[in-house]
């Protein structure tokens, strides 16, 4: 994005009006302005229907500033960005607006698009929201370790992933707390709702294992194959993701082969089955189990506590905001390494 090294007059922070509004959005908004006049010092609200929207912003002010943006159900949309006094920096992202706003089986949330300004010294000079015409969607199918968690401090890695993506790629997070492969396929609010939304070229990341505690191996494998086939029927590209590890250590500092590495009570090694299905079906694999295992073991018993909610909740399964952001960055790296998204579409950090 462009960086502006001049002090902009206040007149530049003008209202940006939505152009070429689709009929559905036009009826809903009544040609309402979708610019800076929809914002206060701490938040913005845009009266738009469900859909995918490009957001272009100009950060900075008269003093040094440092601004991040979140939105909807606690999604991280833009990492904190510092701008020197008198300068402006342009940034952009693409956001998915849906109902329900967060988890598919959760509360509907507020209509429209809600953004929240954060950072140590937030300063928003201008903003413009327009319907995304050519955005590529990354759908997420998963459980509570992935979903848009409504309550702090719980945070899924899918909630943090959007901040690592530039304008043109958005995250549609349809992960839901408590779901297994069995329940995700059987609940009409989940797979039968998501599948028709998938368009040719969309990525669909599938991480389901934590709640398949009583699922036998044949059923688990079949369910994964059903999801893969359903994505392909829509022209989408399925990506199988092995689950994040649980923080359960052996005495020697390695992770427990059962609880931590997702082997259920029936002896089903979920990551191993996922790897096997990926190989047999020719599906790209993100081995998040291997990546998170390596990281957690390298940090050790004490250092790894900050990734999870151990200190707050004695929870060794669900991640903190920090842990979710770290794990989302691993997913971002894998998306690039496996040529699933071009490097130019992701942010460093």
Whole-number pLDDT of residue 195: 98
Q: Which helix (H) or strand (E) holds 62?
A: none
Q: For the chain, what are the domain ranges?
A: 34-131, 136-345
Same fold, 34-131 and 136-345: no
More confident residue, 274 or 348: 274
* pTM for this model (two decimals): 0.90
- E-strand ranges in 182-223 read 203-207
Reported as a single tens digit per residue, the pLDDT across 44-60 is: 999 999 999 999 999 99
Q: Determine the Cα–Cα distance for residues 234 and 237; give it in Å rounded to an integer.
A: 9
pLDDT above 50: residue 23: no
Summarize the confidence of residues 201-212 as an average pLDDT: 98
Alpha-carbon Rg for the chain, nearest whole angstrom, is 21
Non-local CB neighbours of 24 within 8 Å, separated by 6+ positions: 49
Distance of CA 200 to the CA centre of its chain: 20
Name the CATH superfamily for 34-131.
Galactose-binding domain-like (2.60.120.260)
Q: Rounded CA gap, 128 and 270, in Å?
A: 44
Going by CATH, does the domain composed of 136-345 fall within 3.30.450.20? no
Mean pLDDT of 278-293: 98
pLDDT band at 32 (very low <50, low <70, confident <90, very high): very low
3-state DSSP assignment of residue 253: coil
Residue 135 CA to residue 308 CA, distance in Å, equals: 32
For residue range 295-321, list pLDDT tens digits in order. 999 999 999 999 999 999 999 999 999
What is the average pLDDT across 200-216? 98
Cα dihedral 335, 105, 72, 75, rounded to 10, equals -30
Segment 239-260 shows an average pLDDT of 97
Is pLDDT above 90 for 285?
Answer: yes
110-120 pLDDT, tens digit each: 999 999 999 99
**Looking at residues 114-133, what average pLDDT do you find?**
97
Report the distance separating Cα 242 and Cα 207, nearest Å: 6
* pLDDT of 274 strictly over 50: yes
Minimum mean pLDDT range among 33-37, 69-73, 155-159, 309-313: 33-37
């Amino acid at each position: 994005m462009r960086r502006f090294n001049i002090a902009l007059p206040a007149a530049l922070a003008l209202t940006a009006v939505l152009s070429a509004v689709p009929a559905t959005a036009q009826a809903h908004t009544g040609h309402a302005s979708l610019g800076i006049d929809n914002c206060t010092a701490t938040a913005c609200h845009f009266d738009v229907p469900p859909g995918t929207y490009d957001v272009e912003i100009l950060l900075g002010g008269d003093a040094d500033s440092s601004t991040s943006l979140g939105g909807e159900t606690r999604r991280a949309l833009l990492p904190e960005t510092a701008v020197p006094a008198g300068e402006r920096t342009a940034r952009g992202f693409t956001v998915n607006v849906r109902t329900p706003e967060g988890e598919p089986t959760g509360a509907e949330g507020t209509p429209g698009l809600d953004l929240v300004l954060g950072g140590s010294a937030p300063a928003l000079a201008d903003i413009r929201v327009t319907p995304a015409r050519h955005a590529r969607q990354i759908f997420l199918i998963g459980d509570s370790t992935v979903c848009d968690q409504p309550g702090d401090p719980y945070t899924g890695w899918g909630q943090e992933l959007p901040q690592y993506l530039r304008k043109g790629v958005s995250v549609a997070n349809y992960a839901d707390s408590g779901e297994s492969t069995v329940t995700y396929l059987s609940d009409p609010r989940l797979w039968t709702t998501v599948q028709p939304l998938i368009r040719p070229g969309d990525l669909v990341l599938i991480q389901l294992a934590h709640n398949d505690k009583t699922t036998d191996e044949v059923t688990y494998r079949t369910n994964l194959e059903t999801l893969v086939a359903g994505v392909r029927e829509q022209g989408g590209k399925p990506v199988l993701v092995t689950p994040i590890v649980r923080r359960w250590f052996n005495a020697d500092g390695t992770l427990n082969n059962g609880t931590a590495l997702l082997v259920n009570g029936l002896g089903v090694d979920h990551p191993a089955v996922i790897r096997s299905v990926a190989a047999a079906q020719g599906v790209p694999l993100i081995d998040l189990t291997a990546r998170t295992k390596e990281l957690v073991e390298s940090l050790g018993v004490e250092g790894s506590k900050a990734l999870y909610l151990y200190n707050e909740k004695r929870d060794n399964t669900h991640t903190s905001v920090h842990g979710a952001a770290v794990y989302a960055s691993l997913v971002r790296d894998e998306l690039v390494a496996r040529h699933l998204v071009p490097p130019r579409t992701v942010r460093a950090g």
